[in-house]
Chains A and B, each alone.
Chain A
Amino acid sequence: MTASNPAAVSRRSTAFIGPILIFLLAIFLYVLAGRLDENPMEGQLGAFFWPKAILVLLMAGCGLKVLESFFAFGKGVAETGLEGPPAEIKNGKLAAMIVMVIAAVVCVENIGFPIANFLFLLGFMRIAGLKKKLPLFLISFLGTIVLLYLFVKVVYLPLPKGQWFFDDLTVAIYRALRII
């Protein structure tokens, strides 16, 4: 890896930018903690002493990391944990999976766990590479039913039923499955 290598330059940038961003965030939070800090009782350190101390240590950690990266790159040896060729990443698939995870949380809250989980399993397994439609549908459907029986019927976990029309729909699903 040489300094002129574009990948090396990119990784060097990452090694410096990350700690610097965290350092700036720590400064912001430190200032915020100072504003929030009410006068503690005399002789006591107060509620914000500990977080402020942690933030100072975090800033010091960022400084240490920058120094580590500087000396490691200076020597031409990547001892920063960035050594070795980076693994090839399917960025489109990754983005789709992240969206699915976020969407699952939003949907569980709004349309209830049974429907949201069925749709999530269907979508996630499809993105992950399961292409046959029948197994995809059956696994999602049966998997959701098993989870419902296990967590609602056996463990008595009050899973989110969703809002508006979906609340009634979830109850209807529970009744159809004889869960309640």
Chain B
Amino acid sequence: MIDQIYLLGGGLLNVFDPVNFSMILLGLVVGVLAGALPGITMLNAIVLVLPFTYLMGIVPSLLLMTSVYCGGVFGGSITGILFNIPGDPMNVPTTWEGYRLNKKGFVSKALGMAIMCSAIGGFLSAAIMTVASPPFAKVALSFSSFEYFAVVFLGLASVVVIGTKSIGSALISLFIGMFLGTIGMDDIYGVPRFTFGSRIMETGINFVTVLIGLFAIGEVLEQLSMKKGSEEIARVRPKTTLPTVKEIWDLRYTILRGLGIGAVIGAIPGTGATVASFVSYGVEKQVSKNPEKFGTGVWEGLAASETSINGSTGGAMIPLLTLGIPGSGATAVMMGAFLLHGIQPGPLLFTKSPESVYTIFAGMLVCNLVMIFAGLICAKFFSELMRVPENILSAFIISFCLLGAFALRNDMTDVWFMAIFGIVGYFMRRYDLPSPPMILGLILGPLAEKYFLTSMIGCGNDWTIFFCRPVSGSLMVISIGLLIMPFIRNLIQKGRKAARP
């Protein structure tokens, strides 16, 4: 323990070296901006800064990438709250509550709360990572496809809490999303599915194109097509107001739940911040006394999602640093940076170059604190955009969406999908078919399929295996509980109504 504290102290001194600290600042700004721009993901930003690290030492390069990572996972929440355009899929639950809070007139506080919850989640997650790396990674290493499927199933089960008005509509949307996820070349058997002979369709439908279309284009079309619309609404420049200590204290259990879920799910390879934010939001809604208010602008929903997103960053670093297993795309690129500098991540890293490891730990702790200021600056920049008249802003949003969709693979097919799903998104809104479950299905469906089929191949198609293993069994029981809870709640409410005189 003493050794750990000593190493962490050394790491903190390294972090405050001018070059290293400037890398943190630069990385945070790049990460937040990239995360906020639809179509340019946090992962894109980490990949873009990778070539710049060739000429740096290992410590500044890892600090740069770590800060891009921490800033990037938060950045998407800014545009989500301001414009209903989540920068990344992980920011979707934040957008559900944040944008509604914006519409209610709480945009300043919503931005501040998002920044603060992200910083708290990220800081505490980094602290957990520092203390609990080795034992935690051992648990995650024992996971196989059965446990992975159970985790993804838990994420899918959260759809019942997303579908606020009608479970039937939510399920239809979810299964359409899952079906869209099956289009293209099958990963396990190598068979093209529903491609209708088109080679372009073999690559499948990229969920980012669907995400941009459903949320951005659908929103623009809805806002501009309504009568008594935007021209009459006075556009104000929102400021960012950080929440008070009391407001944070009031949300302490929400924040702790979000942190726990984020750290645990982040540490499981293949899951990451997106699953963490959906599960955290779903759990928060289930434990809430007013679950029906979720989706209308609820602070608990915003705080849960934001804390879990940044809470997952520390967790995701655990398997990378202790076992050499990247748990997500972002940590995979960071592993590439390690290898570029001749360092092999894994258990030996702690004995061969503990200074580097503890500098990363210290860097993440500092980075999450500095992020409060970086978040405020970037939120101010994006808030300025709120002053632009809606008819101008909407046109540029669509232009950015076209560019964002094209930038994914430099392919016009993605732009076509984005435009089509934008129009579909508008009509889904108009006819009350919720779009978030479709996104959830499209992201998690392929993962669920992969883990399910791998499990079935390994156990002779015996599906009860998911209930026979302690971790997967527990997760499956929790998921089934989530699925049936709304029905039980309805029955209880009806019983209470009937019992009233």
What residues make up the interface of A, taking CB atoms closer than 8 Å to B?
14, 18-19, 22, 29, 32-33, 36, 38, 40, 43-51, 54-55, 57-58, 60-62, 64-69, 79-82, 87-91, 93-94, 97-98, 101-102, 104-105, 108-109, 117, 120-121, 124-125, 128-130, 139, 143, 147, 151, 155, 157-160
Contact = CB atoms under 8 A, between A and B. Distances in A.
3 closest Cβ contacts across the A-B interface?
A: A65-B168, A128-B391, A81-B165
Interface stretch (B2-10, B52-60, B172-180, B473-481): B172-180
Interface string B156-197: 000000000111110110111011001000101101011000
Contacts of A128: 224, 390-392, 394-395
B412 interface: yes
Contact of B402 (A68, A104, A125): A104
A62 to B, nearest CB: 6
B415 A43 contact: no
A33 B456 CA distance: 20
A130 B391 contact: yes
A93 B456 CA distance: 52
Contact of A101 (B165, B167, B422, B431): B422
A155 B423 CA distance: 28
Contacts of B171: 57, 60-61, 64-65
Given A55-B179, A81-B432, A94-B221, A147 B399 contact: yes
Contact of B431 (A14, A64, A130, A157): A14
Contact of A51 (B194, B228, B389, B460): B194
B191 A129 contact: no
Interface string B427-454: 0001111000000000001000100110
Contacts of B432: 80-82
B382 interface: no
Interface stretch (B22-30, B62-70, B127-135, B403-411): B403-411
> What secondary structure prevails in chain A residues at the interface with B?
helix
Q: Using C-beta atoms within 8 Å of the partner chain, give the interface range for chain B.
A: 35 or more
B83 to A, nearest CB: 15
Contacts of B390: 128
A157 B461 CA distance: 46
B398 A104 contact: yes
Nearest to B399: A117
B226 A29 contact: no
10 contacts: A14-B431, A22-B176, A38-B191, A65-B166, A66-B168, A109-B412, A117-B399, A128-B391, A129-B231, A147-B399
A60 B172 CA distance: 9
Contact of A45 (B165, B426, B461): B461
A129 B168 contact: no
A50 B452 contact: yes
A143 B399 contact: yes
B208 to A, nearest CB: 15
Contact of A50 (B225, B430, B453, B457): B453
B182 A54 contact: yes
B168 A51 contact: no
> What secondary structure prevails in chain B residues at the interface with A?
helix
A62 B189 contact: no
B309 interface: no
B338 interface: no
Nearest to B400: A147
Contacts of A160: 406, 412
Contacts of A104: 398, 402, 419
Nearest to B461: A45
A90 B226 contact: yes
Given A90-B226, A91-B225, A120-B398, 20 more contacts: A18-B431, A33-B194, A47-B191, A54-B182, A58-B176, A62-B168, A81-B166, A87-B226, A89-B225, A94-B224, A94-B426, A101-B398, A101-B422, A101-B423, A104-B398, A120-B399, A128-B391, A139-B392, A151-B407, A157-B403
B402 A143 contact: no
A156 B136 CA distance: 41
A36 B196 CA distance: 10
B404 to A, nearest CB: 10
Given A19-B168, A88-B227, A45 B194 contact: no
B217 interface: yes
Contacts of B182: 50-51, 54
Contact of B445 (A54, A90, A147): A54
A62 B172 contact: yes
A81 B169 CA distance: 9
B168 A61 contact: yes
